[in-house]
Amino acid sequence: MRRILNTLAIALGSLWSLAIVWAMFMYMCALLGMQFFGGGFRYVKADAPRSNFDSFWPSHLGHGALVVVFQIITTENWNTIM
């Protein structure tokens, strides 16, 4: 068990640089999405989608741009009602 944990620690240690690049990519895409789509759509408060690019951090308006970019990358919450 100790060998497995040591190997896992070594593997995770080498993934930090990839995690930093991924975080910077998400940050840039969130800012770009806010620049293109932020505030561009006017909804009645009851009809507003929770996922939007109107704010960077999650707020009372719904998910923030960072969460939306994460949803797009992981293909989460793209369910459609048939």
Q: Give the pLDDT confidence score for residue 78 in this predicted structure.
A: 64
The interaxial angle of helices 65-74 and 16-37, nearest 10 deg, is: 120
Q: Give the pLDDT confidence score for residue 46 in this predicted structure.
A: 67
15 part of a folded domain: no
Domain that holds residue 60: 22-82
**pTM > 0.75:** no
Say if residues 34 and 53 touch (Cβ distance below 8 Å): yes
Report the number of distinct structural domains present in the chain.
1
38 part of a folded domain: yes
Say if residues 27 and 67 touch (Cβ distance below 8 Å): no
Low-confidence ranges of the chain (pLDDT < 50): 82
Q: Give the pLDDT confidence score for residue 64 in this predicted structure.
A: 83
1 part of a folded domain: no
Q: Give the pLDDT confidence score for residue 21 in this predicted structure.
A: 94
Say if residues 52 and 41 touch (Cβ distance below 8 Å): yes
Kind plus residue range of the DSSP H or E element containing 30: helix 16-37
The C-alpha atoms of residue 67 and residue 30 are separated, in whole angstroms, by: 9
